[in-house]
C-alpha cells in the first residue's frame, strides 16, 4: 500500500493535518501520512526578495525518498517564489512525485486581517488538493468551482470548492 | 481556440526562468517548448509553428531585440513578449516599436502573467480570424463575371492588373453593357483598398441637387426634408474606392465641386461647416465622348485631365465575338442553376445566330437574351427559336469581317428594314428574289 506523505516544512504545528488527510482521501482515494523531514531551508532564502525558492525546497523534499510514498506534499509556513513570479501559493511536478504549498499568503494576517484558522485550513486543503491534482497529471480546469481552477489571488481560492469537478475526476488515473 | 491550439516558445538563457515558465504554461494546457539562445529559437521556429514567443532581452550572442526582428521576418503575425530583468524604458520602447505585443519585468505578478497570456492568445485568435476573413473576402470579391479569352479582353485585363495596385484615378470607357462596373470592381478587389468598401454612384441617375447631397451628405435642416444628418457616398468610401458611373452626365456646378474634392480630399456636408477629410480612390466610367464634350465646353478640361489619369477602354462585344460562346455558356450555367432548370448548352444553330448578331447592348444584352432563353427552353439545349432579341439585328461590320460576313450582315439589314419583304429587299439589293431566297437559306437569316 502506498501513501501520500504530508511533510511540514519549518512549521510550528500541524493543525491542518486531519482535514487535509480527509480531503485527500475523498478526492484521490488514498490515505495520507505525516512525515517529519529535516530540510535545511536557509539555502532557499533569497535575501533580496525575503522569500524562499520553492523549486529548491521541492528538490530537497524529493531528495529524501520515503519507501511507501506515492506522492510527497511539503507544507511550508514561509513565503515561496519561483524566479519569474513575485510569489507562488505552491508548486507541483506535473505527473510527478512531489508538490509544495505555502501557507504564508493563505493566512488572513498576511493581508492585515484578523486571524481566521477555519478559513486558513480550508485554503490549505484547497491549495494542497490543487497541487496534488497536478502530480496526478491534471491541468488547470476552466470550470469555476473546480479545485483545479487557476488561482492567482487568495480570493480566487475562496471562490472555488475543495473538490475536483466531474471532468477532472474522470481524468484521474485509476487508483 | 483551446489552450492546446496555442504554441508558446520561451527563449531565455536562464534555465530556472525557462523551466518555471514552461511548467506554468503547461499547467494551463498550452503547447510549450524552450530555447536557451536565439540560434536554437530560430531553429525551433523553422521546425514548428509557434503563436507566442516570450524572449529575454539580454542573452549571449543575438539579443532579444534582434531575435524579435528575425521572428517578424519569418512571420509577422507571431506575438512576441519581451522579458526583461530591469525596467529599462529605452529597450522596452524599442521592443514595442518593433512590434512586441508587451513586455514583462522579472519577477512578474502571477495574475499579470496570466492576464498577459490570455490577452496575447485573444490577440492571436483575432489575427488568425482576420486572416481567414480577408481570405474569404478575396474569394468572394473576385469578379467572376469577366469572362473571355479574346485578345481584346486580355489587353483590358492586363491593364487592370497594371493599374489596380496603384492609387491612380482610372477612367473606364466603353459602350453601354460592356461591363464597366465589373472592371471597376476588379480594380478595387485587386487593390490594397479591397478590405474597405467600393461605393458606386450613378451620376446620371440624379438631378444636380440630389447628386450633391448623395455625394457629400447633408446636415440636419440643410434643405427641406433634410430631417437628419446623413453621410454622403464620399464619406462612406473612406479608405476604399468611389466609382462614379456616367461621369460625363454631371452638370457644371458638380464638376467644379468634384474638382475641388479631388484636389484637396476635403469637403463639407451640405449645410455644414466642418471640413471632412477622406481618403478614397476614384474610378469613373462613361460612354460619352468626353473629348468632344471638352471641346464643346460642356465638360471642364481641368476635371477631364484629373479623371483621365489612366484610361481603360472596353471593347464592344461585336469586336470580341470569339468570347460570345464562353460568355453565353457562363450565363447558361448561372441562370439554369438559379432557375433550377436542366439547360446546359446551346445548339449549333443557336450559336450561329448569336455569332451573327451585332449585340448593340453588348454583354448585358447577351445576358438578358440567355436568361430569357432559359425561361422558355424546353430541353437541355437552347434552340434558335428560344432566342428573342430586343433590337433588330443591325449591321455592324468590322475590318476583320470576311466578304461573306459583310454580305450576310447587309442582307439581314435590308430584311429588317423592309420588315421581311423579300421582293422589296431583293429590289434594294439589286438581286433576284430567287437569289435572295438562296442567300437567306445559305446564311440562315431571319425574315
- pLDDT, one tens digit per residue, over B361-383 is 899 889 999 999 999 998 899 99
Q: Which range, of A72-76, B29-33, B399-403, averages the lowest pLDDT?
A: B399-403
Contacts of residue B354, defined as CB under 8 A and 6 or more positions apart, other chains included, come to B324, B325, B328, B346, B366, B369, B387
State the pairing for strand pair A69-76/A3-9. Answer: parallel
Tell me the three state secondary structure of residue A102: strand
CATH number at residue B369: 1.10.8.60
Q: Does B118 touch chain A (CB under 8 A)?
A: no
Of B313, B342, B360, which residue is a domain's last? B313
Query: In chain B, what is the straight-line distance between the N-terminal and C-terminal CA atoms, in Å?
Result: 69
Relative orientation angle of helices B15-27 and A54-62, to the nearest 10 degrees: 80
A26 CA to chain B: closest CA distance, Å?
Answer: 23
For B4, nearest residue in chain A (alpha carbons): A139
Q: How confident is the model at residue B397 (pLDDT cuts 50, 70, 90)?
A: low
The DSSP output letter for A42 is G
B6 vs B140, residue with greater confidence: B6
In a domain, B274, yes or no: yes
Distance, CA of B21 to CA of B15 (rounded, Å): 10
Do B272 and B158 share a structural domain? yes
Distance, CA of B263 to CA of B342 (rounded, Å): 54
Residue B394 confidence (pLDDT) above 70: no
Short-list A63, A91, A87, CA closest to A75: A91
Do B77 and B16 share a structural domain? yes
Short-list B393, B329, B398, CA closest to B358: B393
Do B372 and B271 share a structural domain? no
Of A49, A82, A140, the CB nearest to B28: A140
Q: Does B4 touch chain A (CB under 8 A)?
A: no
Is A85 close to B23, i.e. CB distance below 8 A? Answer: no
In a domain, B328, yes or no: yes
pLDDT (tens, 9 = 90+) of chain A, 175 residues, equals 789 999 999 888 899 999 999 999 999 999 999 998 788 999 999 999 999 999 999 999 999 888 889 999 999 999 999 989 999 999 999 999 999 999 999 999 999 999 999 999 999 999 999 999 999 999 999 999 999 999 999 999 999 999 999 999 999 986 6
**Per-residue pLDDT averaged across B409-438, rounded?**
82
In a domain, B144, yes or no: no
- State the count of interchain CB pairs (< 8 A) between A and B: 56
For A168-173, the CB contacts below 8 A with 24+ separation are: A168/A133, A168/A138, A168/A141, A168/A143, A171/A137, A171/A138, A172/A28, A172/A136, A172/A138, A173/A136, A173/A137
Please tell me the total count of domains within chain B.
Answer: 3
Per DSSP, what are the bridge partners of residue A85?
B108
Is A152 close to B23, i.e. CB distance below 8 A? Answer: no
- Average pLDDT for chain B: 87
Residue B395 confidence (pLDDT) above 60: no
**Per-residue pLDDT averaged across B427-438, rounded?**
86
In a domain, B179, yes or no: yes
Residue B87 confidence (pLDDT) above 80: no
Q: Does B14 touch chain A (CB under 8 A)?
A: yes
For B105, nearest residue in chain A (alpha carbons): A84
Rounded to two decimals, the ipTM of the complex is 0.86
Is B114 close to A140, i.e. CB distance below 8 A? Answer: no
CATH number at residue B234: 3.40.50.300
Q: Does B13 touch chain A (CB under 8 A)?
A: no
Query: Which positions of A are annotated as active-site residues?
Result: 131
Q: Does B352 touch chain A (CB under 8 A)?
A: no
Is A85 close to B20, i.e. CB distance below 8 A? Answer: yes
pLDDT > 90 fraction of chain B, expressed in percent and rounded:
45
Do B104 and B18 share a structural domain? yes
In a domain, B54, yes or no: yes
Residue B136 confidence (pLDDT) above 80: no
For B21, nearest residue in chain A (alpha carbons): A84
Of B16, B19, B28, the CB nearest to A139: B28
> Which chain B residues contact residue A86 at CB under 8 A?
107-110
Q: How confident is the model at residue B135 (pLDDT cuts 50, 70, 90)?
A: low
Do B261 and B408 share a structural domain? no
Do B324 and B269 share a structural domain? no
Do B119 and B251 share a structural domain? no
Of B138, B164, B195, which residue is a domain's last? B138
Q: What is the CATH number of domain A3-171?
A: 3.40.390.10
Residue B330 confidence (pLDDT) above 70: yes
Residue B180 confidence (pLDDT) above 70: yes
Is B27 close to A140, i.e. CB distance below 8 A? Answer: yes
Q: Does A134 touch chain B (CB under 8 A)?
A: yes
Do B431 and B403 share a structural domain? yes
> Which chain A residues contact residue B21 at CB under 8 A?
84
Contacts of residue B211, defined as CB under 8 A and 6 or more positions apart, other chains included, come to B201, B203, B250, B254
Question: Between residues 20 and 39 of chain A, which touch chain B (CB distance below 8 Å)?
Answer: none
Q: Does A55 touch chain B (CB under 8 A)?
A: yes
Q: Which range, of A129-138, B341-350, B398-407, averages the lowest pLDDT?
A: B398-407
In a domain, B95, yes or no: yes
Q: Give me the pLDDT at residue B134, please.
A: 76
Q: Which range, of B58-67, B103-112, B218-227, averages the lowest pLDDT?
A: B218-227
Q: Give me the pLDDT at residue B144, please.
A: 61
Q: Give me the pLDDT at residue A18, please.
A: 95
Is A140 close to B16, i.e. CB distance below 8 A? Answer: no
User: For residue range B307-318, what is the model confidence (pLDDT) as tens digits?
Assistant: 999 999 999 999
Is A152 close to B17, i.e. CB distance below 8 A? Answer: no
Is B106 close to A83, i.e. CB distance below 8 A? Answer: yes
Of B313, B333, B354, which residue is a domain's last? B313
Do B360 and B306 share a structural domain? no
Joined together, the cell numbers standing for residue B26 give: 503547461
Return the half-sphere exposure (C-beta side, CA atoms, 13 A cut-off) of residue B179: 24
> Which chain B residues contact residue A130 at CB under 8 A?
none
Residue B141 confidence (pLDDT) above 70: no
Do B184 and B74 share a structural domain? no
Q: Does B19 touch chain A (CB under 8 A)?
A: yes
- In contact, A116 and A110? CB cutoff 8 Å: no
Short-list B59, B53, B42, B108, CA closest to B81: B53
- In contact, B34 and B18? CB cutoff 8 Å: yes
Per DSSP, what are the bridge partners of residue B345?
B381
In a domain, B393, yes or no: yes
Is A84 close to B109, i.e. CB distance below 8 A? Answer: no
B51 vs B5, residue with greater confidence: B51
Q: How confident is the model at residue B426 (pLDDT cuts 50, 70, 90)?
A: confident
Q: Which range, of A22-31, B68-77, B165-174, B436-445, averages the lowest pLDDT?
A: B436-445
Per DSSP, what are the bridge partners of residue B174?
none
Q: Which range, of A135-139, B164-168, B441-445, averages the lowest pLDDT?
A: B441-445
Is A152 close to B21, i.e. CB distance below 8 A? Answer: no
Q: Give me the pLDDT at residue B437, please.
A: 85
A84 vs B415, residue with greater confidence: A84
CATH number at residue B63: 3.40.50.2300
Integer-rounded Cα Rg, in Å, for chain B is 32
Of B27, B28, B106, the CB nearest to A84: B106
Of A84, A86, A91, the CB nearest to B17: A84
**Per-residue pLDDT averaged across B306-334, rounded?**
93
Best residue in B3, B17, B103, B111 to probe A by mutation, most A CBs within 10 Å?
B111
Q: Give me the pLDDT at residue A125, please.
A: 97
Residue B417 confidence (pLDDT) above 70: yes
> Which chain A residues contact residue B54 at CB under 8 A?
none
Distance, CA of B107 to CA of A15 (rounded, Å): 32
Joined together, the cell numbers standing for residue B119 give: 490577452
Relative orientation angle of helices B422-429 and B403-417, to the nearest 10 degrees: 130
Q: Which one of B3-7, B324-328, B416-420 scores highest in mean pLDDT?
A: B324-328
Q: Does A139 touch chain B (CB under 8 A)?
A: yes
Do B174 and B30 share a structural domain? no
- In contact, B245 and B285? CB cutoff 8 Å: yes
Q: Give me the pLDDT at residue B430, please.
A: 87
Is A83 close to B24, i.e. CB distance below 8 A? Answer: no
Q: Does A83 touch chain B (CB under 8 A)?
A: yes
In a domain, B177, yes or no: yes
Q: Does B2 touch chain A (CB under 8 A)?
A: no
Do B303 and B276 share a structural domain? yes
For A140, nearest residue in chain B (alpha carbons): B28
Q: Does B21 touch chain A (CB under 8 A)?
A: yes
Distance, CA of B294 to CA of B342 (rounded, Å): 51
State the pairing for strand pair B230-231/B217-218. Answer: antiparallel
Q: Give me the pLDDT at residue B392, please.
A: 52
What residue numbers bound the domain in which B349 lies? 318-443
Amino acid at each position: 500500500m502506498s501513501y501520500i506523505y504530508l511533510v511540514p516544512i519549518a512549521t510550528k504545528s500541524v493543525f491542518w493535518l486531519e482535514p487535509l488527510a480527509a480531503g485527500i482521501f475523498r478526492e484521490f482515494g488514498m490515505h495520507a501520512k505525516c512525515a517529519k523531514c529535516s530540510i535545511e531551508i536557509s539555502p532557499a532564502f533569497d535575501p533580496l526578495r525575503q522569500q524562499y525558492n520553492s523549486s529548491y525546497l521541492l528538490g530537497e523534499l524529493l531528495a529524501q525518498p520515503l519507501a511507501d510514498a506515492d506522492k510527497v506534499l511539503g507544507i511550508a509556513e514561509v513565503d515561496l517564489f519561483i524566479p519569474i513570479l513575485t510569489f507562488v501559493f505552491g508548486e507541483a511536478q506535473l505527473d510527478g512525485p512531489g508538490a509544495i504549498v505555502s501557507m504564508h499568503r493563505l493566512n488572513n494576517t498576511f493581508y492585515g486581517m484578523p486571524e481566521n484558522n477555519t478559513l486558513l485550513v480550508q485554503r490549505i486543503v484547497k491549495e494542497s488538493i490543487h497541487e496534488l491534482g497536478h502530480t496526478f497529471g491534471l491541468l488547470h480546469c476552466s470550470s469555476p468551482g473546480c479545485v483545479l481552477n487557476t488561482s492567482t489571488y487568495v480570493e480566487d481560492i475562496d471562490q472555488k470548492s475543495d473538490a475536483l469537478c466531474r471532468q477532472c475526476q474522470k481524468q484521474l488515473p485509476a487508483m | 481556440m483551446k489552450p492546446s491550439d496555442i504554441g508558446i516558445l520561451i527563449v531565455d538563457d536562464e534555465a530556472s526562468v525557462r523551466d518555471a515558465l514552461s511548467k506554468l504554461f503547461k499547467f494551463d494546457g498550452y503547447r510549450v517548448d524552450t530555447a536557451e539562445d536565439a540560434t536554437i529559437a530560430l531553429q525551433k521556429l523553422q521546425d514548428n509553428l509557434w503563436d507566442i514567443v516570450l524572449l529575454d532581452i539580454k542573452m549571449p550572442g543575438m539579443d532579444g531585440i534582434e531575435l524579435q526582428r528575425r521572428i517578424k521576418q519569418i512571420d509577422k503575425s507571431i506575438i512576441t513578449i519581451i522579458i526583461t530583468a530591469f525596467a529599462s524604458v529605452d529597450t522596452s520602447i524599442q521592443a514595442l516599436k518593433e512590434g512586441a505585443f508587451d513586455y514583462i519585468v522579472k519577477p512578474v505578478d502571477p495574475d499579470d502573467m496570466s492576464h498577459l497570456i490570455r490577452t496575447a492568445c485573444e490577440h492571436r485568435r483575432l489575427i488568425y480570424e482576420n486572416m481567414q476573413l480577408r481570405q474569404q473576402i478575396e474569394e468572394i470579391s473576385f469578379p467572376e463575371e469577366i469572362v473571355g479569352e479574346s485578345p481584346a479582353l486580355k489587353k483590358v485585363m492586363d491593364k487592370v492588373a497594371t493599374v489596380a495596385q496603384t492609387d491612380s484615378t482610372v477612367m473606364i470607357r466603353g459602350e453601354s453593357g460592356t461591363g464597366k462596373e465589373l472592371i471597376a470592381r476588379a480594380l478595387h478587389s485587386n487593390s490594397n483598398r479591397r478590405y474597405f468598401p467600393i461605393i458606386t454612384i450613378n451620376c446620371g441617375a440624379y438631378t444636380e441637387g440630389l447628386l450633391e447631397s448623395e455625394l457629400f451628405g447633408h446636415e440636419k435642416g440643410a434643405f427641406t426634408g433634410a430631417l437628419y444628418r446623413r453621410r454622403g457616398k464620399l464619406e462612406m468610401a473612406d479608405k476604399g474606392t468611389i466609382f462614379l458611373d456616367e461621369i460625363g452626365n454631371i452638370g457644371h456646378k458638380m464638376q467644379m465641386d468634384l474638382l475641388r474634392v479631388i484636389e484637396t480630399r476635403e469637403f463639407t456636408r451640405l449645410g455644414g461647416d466642418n471640413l471632412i477629410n477622406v481618403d478614397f480612390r476614384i474610378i469613373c466610367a462613361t460612354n460619352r465622348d468626353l473629348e468632344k464634350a471638352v471641346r464643346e465646353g460642356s465638360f471642364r478640361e481641368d476635371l477631364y485631365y484629373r479623371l483621365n489619369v489612366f484610361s481603360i477602354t472596353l471593347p464592344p462585344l461585336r469586336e470580341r465575338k470569339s468570347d460570345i460562346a464562353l460568355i453565353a455558356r457562363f450565363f447558361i450555367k448561372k441562370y439554369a442553376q438559379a432557375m433550377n432548370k436542366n439547360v446546359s448548352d446551346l445548339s449549333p444553330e443557336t450559336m450561329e445566330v448569336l455569332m451573327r448578331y451585332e449585340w448593340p447592348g453588348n454583354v448585358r444584352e447577351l445576358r438578358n437574351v440567355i436568361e430569357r432563353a432559359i425561361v422558355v427552353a424546353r430541353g437541355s439545349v437552347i434552340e434558335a427559336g428560344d432566342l428573342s432579341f430586343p433590337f433588330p439585328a443591325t449591321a455592324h461590320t468590322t475590318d476583320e469581317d470576311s466578304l461573306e460576313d459583310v454580305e450576310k450582315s447587309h442582307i439581314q439589314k435590308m430584311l429588317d428594314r423592309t420588315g421581311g419583304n423579300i421582293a422589296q429587299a431583293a429590289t434594294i439589293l439589286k438581286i433576284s428574289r430567287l437569289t435572295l431566297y438562296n442567300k437567306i437559306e445559305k446564311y440562315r437569316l431571319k425574315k
